[in-house]
């Protein structure tokens, strides 16, 4: 799974837009969307929101948590605790990136938000690395990691699994009986 | 005393605060522990001017444009007011000062500090200081007496001391306070206050009371207390007239005493019960500002006004009324008592919403009213200038006139804002910018398909705007040189000249404007409304009975609200006119009063997207015109109910009836939104203020009437020739009837049978049959019987209307044969009834043949019986069905025929002429086979009233007369034969035929009616088996395809299959209703 796929999954999240066109309900496999009334907020999936935004057919209303005060609070919380704190959206990183890249003009304090989310991300990923490190150094068999988002898991998965594999191989090589096989 | 406590609003961060008014009372000045001094234009001022004066501010005083603050850096500073520039340091202490105060003339400042010292400093020359030493603890408060002779101070050492300023010695000292080590530990702030002007009394808050000391003798003269006070008094302030004393306590109580009478005339409680630590009386004496230790600012409005209680206890007040007529302030009435030498104003101001609370553009005016009107207190003169001539006039105690509200554009924010919404409506947004760099107007459309966004430079200084799908209308008021102008950007114009400008005559200003479809209207200061075509052609002008408040346009409708007269006690007296422009021009509402909430003003006026007039007042109550109840206004929503805090409001931008949406912008802590960040629209539901909406009954009633009200527009639209959404209408119909059915079921469950019948009266015919079935199934035979009467009555009534409306056969044929025309559910429902009517109608001639002077009583049973058996291909008669269903499913186990007969015999009140006479009588007014709109009107008729129908009828009678002619003449004879042949007979009929002779021989003088009556009696006496036999016979006689009615299920199926070909709606409808029953039965 690469980040693009995770991002793809994130695009199913709902976000509010204010359309500037009028359209009746549209019936899609995933559910009905609309009706779209100009000027009236309506919830649509991110993929549609971005598409409409690119065609200048709507303004995107940032999700509630995409607010400097709330993010600052989360950042502080994240820095304070050793464990992962619950995050307001399972796709916070992807959504931030998508929304800020495509509709920064609709989001107040876009730059600050970008920085804050990056901070939160960094903190969390650092924690993840740290715990992976202690997991390996203490040779634990299992570990519990709550409140991780898909993207976070994804960043470390291939690396962690591969390295565990290699370590396993190396360790098994160390065993006297096996080493003679080679 | 009608004093109004305004909602608190956040002013400073938590901690000690202080408050004062400026000399004219235009601004409230507060300070707080955040180190800021804030200058509030009004309580609703969302952008108070902030001056940072230090880290913490302990006390603030303001006089003659000097703002003195006691700051945490141990200094007492001066700032200029209102600019807020630092103007030097007045004095320093070794620790911070706790209280600063001016003398009455503003020449000196006294400050008491935590280093036990009191200083008196000349404002102009800060080197001239007098220091008073003698307290043994931090000074709590200082007060200079009006004659500048004495200074009173209170201290944490438990003493209140009076000093002679000149000699800097103690004159008197009372150890009356509780001792404490520091200000922060002190129980009370113990703010002292001298009575203004005379300085005769010194008020000292002592524990739970306020004690008054006499200046001449330095003795305690009286104590003011009240049962409400449970915690120590913190602050006392005198009213500017010196008659009243206000106190604020630690527990958040606010009290006002009439000092003379020692009577507590006002008791208010802080909304959260926080400690009141700052109080200030407005120079006019009508309001008190107060702050609490949580940093919030509040206002008591209308204190010491001329209410009966206060005027009875204080007959010696001066009342000054100022009316604002075109900015000329005239003192129209003033009165003062003659035997009191303290002449002071306790003004009863004409405005209940003073400038401080007026968040809209009225405030501008109000400020100046006060400025010109109320005598300023310079302090140097204790007696006020305005008082002299007024002596000896009688005191006016009646209601106070309200300042008429100013004209406004619905959906705009106040004009004085630099960045404002000039209009926000369902089409788009017009924003006005008027700052240093730019004077511009931005037009933006919600739907970019209408037009792209526009940016205009506002060289003319437009302040009013309206926006429609076709054009932008802008207007500015005139100046000395320039006339008032109207500019229209007609962007939908197909030629190259997309805008036009019109100058109004000299001296005439635009007050309000609006756009409709193809026209624009402008109300001017000359009490005139000018109509223009959208292309700029001047059209009608007409006069208004009063100054326009605002206007709104929609399609061909023009809604104008104007001042009908002077309102009193805070109410506005507004009138409303609704005009229909376009082809049939008329005035729909002729200047009736516009209902508003008490003490509120109009905040929004407009139409729903569907074209129903709507208004919203400052209390947040949304009212909608109810066209079916004689153009009355129904409150449909109170936006304040949805607000989280009292200072929050909803700023409405649009009202939609279908779907029911109130589109508005939530504004935190203000009445209107700022332009940035871009506000988001929220949708509120409507909620009619019905009683007991917590109960199921109340809820359903509310829903029903809301649905009725919000679907009135269908009738209006179709009657004015617009296309309507028949789908939506049918939905609404269904919803309403379902609700009625649910209510019916509920009442049934509660054994409220009378109520059931009342509900059934509101139902359509076809639903009544369902109700009958429900009633009979739940073993309420009496109810079922009454309902069947009702059903018959309805059927007849409906038939009459039907006949007035049109020749039904044609319509029926059209319906049944194609379905090519789109049908509304009304139609669908009506159809059922309709067909029944037709059948009835067809039956009549036959009956008439049978006996000429029959009564319906006799006629109906046979006809009904026949109806029940009748099952013609492609014709559906749900009434028939349910009638049968009822009897068959009736758990009472009565034979069906009996039941039918029972229900029929009671139907005697039906008028006979239905078939014959009424048909003939009404024939000339039948309607043509008009397609859509007609049938809709008919629907309305059915449900609402006949009034509309009759008016329509008149209009169309001429044209229809001809078309209709052949119909009644031709059809009846034709159908007579048919029906005669086809008509199946009931068992009773068969029996009757055979037994008629015997009856007649028994009673030779019987007429037909009596024969049938007698026959029925006899038939009933037969045994069940015999009757069954007859019925069987009858069955054999009649159509072999006749359905079996024993089984409810079968019946439904049949119905479905029957109706399937003709229309799809009905079966669904029925099943939905049935499911509703199922739900309700549990």
Which residues on B lie below 8 Å from A39 (Cβ)? 426, 428, 446-447, 663, 681
How far does Cα B59 stand from its chain's mean position?
43
Task: Quote the minimal CA–CA distance from A80 to chain B in Å.
Answer: 26
CB B16 within 8 A of CB B279: no
**Spatial distance between the Cα atoms of A103 and B974, rounded to a whole number of angstroms:** 74
What are the tens digits of pLDDT across the range B237-258? 888 888 888 888 888 888 888 8
What average pLDDT does range A100-128 have in this prediction?
91
Task: Quote the minimal CA–CA distance from B412 to chain A in Å.
Answer: 17
Query: What is the value of pTM for the model shown?
Result: 0.53
Q: Cβ–Cβ of A39/B447 closer than 8 Å?
A: yes
**Helix/strand/coil for B955:** helix
In A, what residues contact B, Cβ < 8 A? 16, 18, 20-22, 38-41, 56-57, 59, 61, 108
How far does Cα B6 stand from its chain's mean position?
20
**Two tokens at B944?**
């609402």
* Of residues B447, B678, B683, nearest to A20 (C-beta): B447
The 8 Å CB, 24+ separation contacts for B1016-1020 are: B1016/B861, B1016/B901, B1016/B905, B1016/B988, B1019/B897, B1019/B901, B1019/B988, B1019/B991, B1019/B992, B1020/B898, B1020/B901
Q: Which helix (H) or strand (E) holds B330?
A: strand B328-335
Question: Which of A18, A19, A37, A63 has the highest number of chain B CBs within 10 A, making it the mutation to test binding with B?
Answer: A37
In this prediction, residue B371 carries a pLDDT of: 39
From start to end of B535-620, where are the E strands? 538-543, 548-554, 557-563, 574-580, 586-593, 602-607, 613-617
Q: Does B174 touch chain A (CB under 8 A)?
A: no
Q: Which helix (H) or strand (E) holds B118?
A: strand B118-122
Give the residue, B585 or B959, on which the prediction is more confident.
B585
Alpha-carbon distance values, B328 to B286, B368, B405 (Å):
22, 10, 16
Q: Does B663 touch chain A (CB under 8 A)?
A: yes
In this prediction, residue B1037 carries a pLDDT of: 53
Interface predicted TM-score (ipTM)? 0.81
CB A54 within 8 A of CB A25: no
Which residues on A lie below 8 Å from B678 (Cβ)? 59
Note the residue count of chain A: 182
**Helix/strand/coil for B192:** coil
**Helix/strand/coil for B496:** coil
**Two tokens at B400?**
């106070």
What are the tens digits of pLDDT across the range B781-808? 888 888 888 888 888 887 887 776 554 4
Which residues on B lie below 8 Å from A38 (Cβ)? 445-448
What average pLDDT does range B304-331 have in this prediction?
39
Which residues on B lie below 8 Å from A59 (Cβ)? 678
Q: Cβ–Cβ of B680/A40 closer than 8 Å?
A: no
Q: Cβ–Cβ of A22/B426 closer than 8 Å?
A: no
Flag whether pLDDT at B1040 surpasses 70. no
Q: Options 2.60.120, 2.130.10, 1.25.40, 2.60.40; which CATH number does B419-687 get?
A: 2.130.10
DSSP symbols for B690-736: -TTTTSHHHHHHHHHHHHHHHTHHHHHHHHTT----HHHHHHHHHHH
Flag whether pLDDT at B1020 surpasses 60. yes
Q: Which CATH superfamily is domain B4-304 in?
A: YVTN repeat-like/Quinoprotein amine dehydrogenase (2.130.10.10)
Which residues on A lie below 8 Å from B452 (Cβ)? none
**Spatial distance between the Cα atoms of B708 and B939, rounded to a whole number of angstroms:** 13
Q: Cβ–Cβ of A108/B677 closer than 8 Å?
A: yes
Task: Quote the minimal CA–CA distance from A107 to chain B in Å.
Answer: 9
Q: Does B213 touch chain A (CB under 8 A)?
A: no
The two domains B4-304 and B419-687 share their CATH topology (first three levels equal): yes
Give the residue, B577 or B918, on which the prediction is more confident.
B577
Share of chain B above pLDDT 90, in %: 19
Among the listed residues B926, B921, B932, the one whose alpha carbon sits nearest the alpha carbon of residue B802: B926
What are the tens digits of pLDDT across the range B807-828? 444 444 434 443 344 444 444 4
What average pLDDT does range B31-50 have in this prediction?
83
- Tell me how many helices (H) and strands (E) chain B has: 22, 53
Flag whether pLDDT at B856 surpasses 70. no
Q: Burial, B572: exposed, middle or buried (Cβ in 10 Å; 0-12, 13-18, 19+)?
A: buried
Q: Cβ–Cβ of A20/B445 closer than 8 Å?
A: yes
What are the tens digits of pLDDT across the range B115-169? 888 888 888 887 888 888 888 888 889 998 888 888 899 888 888 888 888 888 8
Alpha-carbon distance values, B813 to B807, B818, B849, B870 (Å):
11, 8, 26, 18
What average pLDDT does range B197-216 have in this prediction?
86
What are the tens digits of pLDDT across the range B370-379? 334 334 344 4
Q: Mean pLDDT, chain B, as a whole number?
A: 74
Boundaries of every domain in chain B: 4-304, 326-401, 419-687, 809-881+896-935+946-1075
In this prediction, residue B229 carries a pLDDT of: 82
Provide the pLDDT confidence category of residue B691 given band limits of 50, 70 and 90: very high
**Looking only at Cα atoms, what is the longest distance across chain A?**
75
Flag whether pLDDT at A18 surpasses 50. yes
**Two tokens at A87?**
């995050």
Q: Which helix (H) or strand (E) holds A50?
A: helix A46-54
């Amino acid at each position: 799974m690469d980040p693009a796929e995770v991002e793809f999954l994130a695009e199913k999240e709902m976000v509010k837009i204010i359309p500037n066109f009028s359209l009746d309900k549209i019936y899609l496999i995933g559910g009905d969307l609309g009706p779209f009334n100009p000027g009236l907020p309506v919830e649509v999936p991110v993929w549609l929101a971005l598409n409409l935004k690119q065609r200048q057919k709507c303004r995107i209303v940032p999700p509630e948590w995409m607010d400097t005060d709330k993010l600052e609070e989360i950042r502080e919380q994240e820095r304070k605790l050793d464990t992962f704190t619950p995050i307001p959206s399972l796709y916070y990183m992807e959504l931030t990136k998508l929304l800020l890249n495509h509709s920064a003009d609709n989001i107040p304090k876009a730059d600050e938000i970008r920085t804050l989310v990056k901070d939160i991300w960094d903190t969390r990923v650092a924690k993840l690395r740290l715990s992976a490190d202690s997991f390996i150094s203490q040779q634990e068999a299992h570990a519990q990691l709550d409140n991780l988002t898909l993207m976070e898991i994804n960043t470390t998965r291939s690396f962690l699994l591969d390295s565990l594999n290699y370590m396993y191989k190396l360790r098994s090589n160390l065993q006297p009986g096996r080493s003679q096989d080679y | 005393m009608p004093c109004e406590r305004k909602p608190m609003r956040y002013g400073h961060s938590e901690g000690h605060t202080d408050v004062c008014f400026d000399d004219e009372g235009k601004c409230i000045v507060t300070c707080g522990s955040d180190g800021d001094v804030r200058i509030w234009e009004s309580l609703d001022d969302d952008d108070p001017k902030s001056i940072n004066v230090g880290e913490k501010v302990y006390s603030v005083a303001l006089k003659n444009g000097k703002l003195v603050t006691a700051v945490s850096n141990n200094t007492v500073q001066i700032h200029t007011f209102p600019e807020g520039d630092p103007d030097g340091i007045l004095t320093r202490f070794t620790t911070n000062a706790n209280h600063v105060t001016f003398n009455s003339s503003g020449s000196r400042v006294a400050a008491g500090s935590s280093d036990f010292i009191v200083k008196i400093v000349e404002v102009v020359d800060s080197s001239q200081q007098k220091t008073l030493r003698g307290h043994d603890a931090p000074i709590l408060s200082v007060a200079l007496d009006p004659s500048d002779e004495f200074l009173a101070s209170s201290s944490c050492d438990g003493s209140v001391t009076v000093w002679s300023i000149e000699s800097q010695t103690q004159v008197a000292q009372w150890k009356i306070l509780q001792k404490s080590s520091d200000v922060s530990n002190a129980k009370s702030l113990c703010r002292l206050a001298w009575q203004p002007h005379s300085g005769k009394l010194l008020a000292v808050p002592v524990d739970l009371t306020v004690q008054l000391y006499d200046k001449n003798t330095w003795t305690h003269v009286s104590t003011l207390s009240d049962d409400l006070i449970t915690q120590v008094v913190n602050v006392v302030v005198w009213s500017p007239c010196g008659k009243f004393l206000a106190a604020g306590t630690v527990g958040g109580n606010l009290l006002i005493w009439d000092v003379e009478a020692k009577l507590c005339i006002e008791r208010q409680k802080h909304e959260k019960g926080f400690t009141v630590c700052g109080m200030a009386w407005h120079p006019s004496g009508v309001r008190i500002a107060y702050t609490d230790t949580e940093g919030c600012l509040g206002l008591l409005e209308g204190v010491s006004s001329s209410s009966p209680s206060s005027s009875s206890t204080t007959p010696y007040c001066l009342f000054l009324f100022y009316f604002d007529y075109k900015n000329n302030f005239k003192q129209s009435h003033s009165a003062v008592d003659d035997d009191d030498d303290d002449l002071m104003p306790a003004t009863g101001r004409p405005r209940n919403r003073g400038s401080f609370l007026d968040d809209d553009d009225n405030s501008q005016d109000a400020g100046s009213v006060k400025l010109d009107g109320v005598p300023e207190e310079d302090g140097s003169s204790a007696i006020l200038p305005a008082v002299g001539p007024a002596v000896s006039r009688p005191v006016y105690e009646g209601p106070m006139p309200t300042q008429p509200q100013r004209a406004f554009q619905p959906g705009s924010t106040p004009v004085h804002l630099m960045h404002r919404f000039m209009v926000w409506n369902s089409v788009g947004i017009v924003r006005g910018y008027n700052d240093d760099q730019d004077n511009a107007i931005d037009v933006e459309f919600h739907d970019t398909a209408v037009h792209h966004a526009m940016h205009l430079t506002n060289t003319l200084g437009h302040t009013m705007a309206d926006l429609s799908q076709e054009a932008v209308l802008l207007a500015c008021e005139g100046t000395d040189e320039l006339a008032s102008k109207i500019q229209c950007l007609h962007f939908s114009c197909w030629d190259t000249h997309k805008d036009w400008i019109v100058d109004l005559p000299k001296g005439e200003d635009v007050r309000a404007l609006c756009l409709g479809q193809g026209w624009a209207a402008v109300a001017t200061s000359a009490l005139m409304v000018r109509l223009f075509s959208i292309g700029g052609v001047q059209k009608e002008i007409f006069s208004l009975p009063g100054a326009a408040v605002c206007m709104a346009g929609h399609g061909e409708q023009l809604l104008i609200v104007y001042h009908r007269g002077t309102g009193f006690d805070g109410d506005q007296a507004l009138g409303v006119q609704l005009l229909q422009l376009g082809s049939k021009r008329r005035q729909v509402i002729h200047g009736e009063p516009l209902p508003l909430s008490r003490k509120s003003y109009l905040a929004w006026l407009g139409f729903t997207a569907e074209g129903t007039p709507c208004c919203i007042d400052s209390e947040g109550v949304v009212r909608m015109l109810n066209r079916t109840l004689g153009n009355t206004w129904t409150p449909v929503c109170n936006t304040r109910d949805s607000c989280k805090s009292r200072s929050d409001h909803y700023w409405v931008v649009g009202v939609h009836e279908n779907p029911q949406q109130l589109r508005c912008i939530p504004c935190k802590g203000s009445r209107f939104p700022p332009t940035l960040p871009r506000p988001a629209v929220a949708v509120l539901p409507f909620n009619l203020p019905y009683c007991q909406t917590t109960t199921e009954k109340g809820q359903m009633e509310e829903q029903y009437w809301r649905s009725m009200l919000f679907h009135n527009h269908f009738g209006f639209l179709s009657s004015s020739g617009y296309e309507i959404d028949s789908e939506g209408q049918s939905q609404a119909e269904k919803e309403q009837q379902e609700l009625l059915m649910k209510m019916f079921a509920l009442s049934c469950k509660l054994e409220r049978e009378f109520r059931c019948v009342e509900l059934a009266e509101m139902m359509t015919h076809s639903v009544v049959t369902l109700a009958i079935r429900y009633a009979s199934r739940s073993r309420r035979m009496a109810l079922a019987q009454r309902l069947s009467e009702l059903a018959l009555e309805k059927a007849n009534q409906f038939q009459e209307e039907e006949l007035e409306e049109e020749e039904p056969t044609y319509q029926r044929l059209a319906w049944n044969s194609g379905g090519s025309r789109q049908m509304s559910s009304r139609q669908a429902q009506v159809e059922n009834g309709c067909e029944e009517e037709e059948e009835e109608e067809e039956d009549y001639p036959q009956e008439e043949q049978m006996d000429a002077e029959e009564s319906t009583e006799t006629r109906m049973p046979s006809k009904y019986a026949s109806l029940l058996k009748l099952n013609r291909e492609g014709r559906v008669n749900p009434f028939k069905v349910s009638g049968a269903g009822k009897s068959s499913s009736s758990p009472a186990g009565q034979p069906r025929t009996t039941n039918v007969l029972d229900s029929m015999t009671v139907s005697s009140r039906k008028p006979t002429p239905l078939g014959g006479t009424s048909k003939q009588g009404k024939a000339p007014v039948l309607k043509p086979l008009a397609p859509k709109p007609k049938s809709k009107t008919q629907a309305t008729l059915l449900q609402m009233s006949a009034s509309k129908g009759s008016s329509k009828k008149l209009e169309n009678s001429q044209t229809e007369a001809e078309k209709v002619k052949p119909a009644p003449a031709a059809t009846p004879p034709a159908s007579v034969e048919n029906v005669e042949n086809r008509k199946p007979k009931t068992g009773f009929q068969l029996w009757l035929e055979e037994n008629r002779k015997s009856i007649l021989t028994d009673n030779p003088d019987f007429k037909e009616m009596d024969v049938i009556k007698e026959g029925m009696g006899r038939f009933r006496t037969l045994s069940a088996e015999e009757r069954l036999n007859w019925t069987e016979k009858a069955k054999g006689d009649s159509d072999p395809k006749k359905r079996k009615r024993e089984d409810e299920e079968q019946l439904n199926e049949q119905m479905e299959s029957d109706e399937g070909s003709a229309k799809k709606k009905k079966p669904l409808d029925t099943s939905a209703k049935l499911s509703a029953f199922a739900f309700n039965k549990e």
